[in-house]
Amino acid sequence: MAKYLKEIRVYIAFSLLFYILETLVASAMLLMPGYLIDNYKKGFNIIAGLITTYVVLYLVNLLVCYISNRLADYRRIKFEKNLKSDFFNAVLNKDYDNFSKYDVGEYISMQANDISELCQNYLSPYISIYRSLIMIIVFGIALIVFVDFRIAFVILASSLIAGLSPKITSKNLSSRNHHYLASVGVYTEAISKFFDTKLMLDKRSMKAISEVHEKNLDNVLDKNMHFRKLNSLSFVINGGAVDLVMVISFITVTLLLVNNDITIGMATTTFLYSTKFIEPLYELNLNIGRVKSVEKIREKLMLIINEKNSSFEHEKISSADTITIKNAKKRVHNFTISYPDFTFAKGNSYLIAGDNGTGKSVLTKIMMNFITLDKGCIEYDKKNIEKLEVSNLVSYSPQTSVILSGDYYDNVSLYGSYSLDNLEQYEKMFPIEVIEKIKNQENLKNLSGGEKQIISLLRVFCSEKKWLLLDEPFSAMNERIVRYFLERFAINEKTFIIVAHNYSEYVNYFDHVYKIDSKAEKLI
């Protein structure tokens, strides 16, 4: 977190400078009423001077407060932008194993909620702690110099004791807040899945989904209430400790006033200072508690951002003549999947066929080095994949078509990552009327499943990588479009490895067909 505070250090420095100026102005204004009470009989010039000074201080205070607020806006926005950018890029660059530690919905919740929570309950309170300390120091010095050292001693001593109150609840409060925000991430992921089922629901299943949603929602709100219960107690404890300082100062001033040890003007100033002194003391206790409450959230986000990515150490390859798979086995849940030996040669087209449950999609992830084998090996030109980064060589298209916000060209080029120079050539692999329909669709998310798969295929072609690994690329297309594509795809000088289960009618279009026909072995 020190890195992100350092990046806004200029804003922090100017903020502290203006906090000092703001406190000095406020301290001077607090002296005025008591001075007026003790000196109002000394003539018009004294009164006029006090009024003029008070008005000038008031206007200066308004200006200083405005500048302080604008500085707070700038530092908050820059802090949030830097943190969200680093978090997003860290998640985007994670290897498959590290990425899989959280669901997508949890990452979305962290990006949208947890970081905003840090801005609200870490950055702002963190800076406010220094503001409170500045006010306590300045007001404390003013109490000693302009009021009475006995009153100053009593207020400062009782304030130090009150400052210990946040420790009573801080650790437990942080834990409860962490569990609450974690449950928000799980809930966000669940909501995403529920909405994905919208088109397949009937009245009976809608009721079931609604009931499950209620349970998930109740779980989140229960954790929120669990946090808020302790948070309310924390407010009472911290506020009560601060108010106790005011009670003690009231008793002290009363005793000194009765014994004629201070003037009425000094007593008035003391009450004003003690009341004003309570504000930074209360804010100090409150903000220490707020910073402590997000400690676990901060630790989690920093762990994700700073987590070492093993794929950065892998050798990046952009060419290969062969891919071989030998004696490969992978355990998935309670099953072990055994694969036959494969050899893929550059420039050929391959169909990996098999029924559901035979591990075809798992194999594609292994070939991309997203997950590792339990036994056997995969080699690119006799180099073990475990030490390779193959994303520059192989363009991978998963089962689920990903449609991004943006237009047709944004999607097929991945926001300009890929060249569109050969797009027209690739579009010719599909019926022209289908391509035109896709291009004319204002919201690409409304495309049919088959049309979305066409965009996915065009995307991998535009990547201009020599090896294409496609997982069930035709599952939602009609037979006419599939045949149209297969009759034309071989003209491209690329190596195709296509995984499919509805394969019987398409085998003649490929140079080689591998069939995975053994079911996974259940572990005893």
Spacing of C-alpha 373 from chain mean position: 31
pTM, full prediction: 0.72
- pLDDT band with cut points at 50, 70 and 90 for residue 521: very low
Q: Comparing 101-105, 126-130, 342-346, which segment has the lowest mean pLDDT? A: 101-105
| Cα separation, 389 vs 450, whole angstroms | 30
Task: Give tens-digit pLDDT for 353-409.
Answer: 887 777 888 899 999 888 889 999 999 999 998 888 888 899 999 888 888 878 899
Instruction: Measure Cα distances from 298 to 43, 85, 173, 301 in Å.
Output: 60, 15, 14, 5
- pLDDT band with cut points at 50, 70 and 90 for residue 175: confident
pLDDT at 198: 60
Task: Give tens-digit pLDDT for 226-247.
Answer: 888 888 888 787 777 767 777 8
Residue with more model confidence, 81 or 260 = 81
pLDDT at 520: 40
pLDDT at 63: 94
Q: Cβ distance 120 to 104 under 8 Å?
A: no
Radius of gyration of the chain from its Cα atoms, rounded to whole angstroms: 34
Instruction: Measure Cα distances from 445 to 402, 411, 455 in Å.
Output: 9, 11, 11
Greatest pairwise CA separation for the chain in angstroms? 110
Domains of the chain listed by start with CATH number: 1-148+262-306 (1.20.1560.10), 315-522 (3.40.50.300)
Task: Give tens-digit pLDDT for 499-514.
Answer: 987 667 788 889 998 8
**What secondary structure, in 3-state letters, does 469-490 show?**
EEECCCCCCCHHHHHHHHCCHH
pLDDT at 339: 87
**Beta strand pairing status for 335-338 and 521-522?**
antiparallel
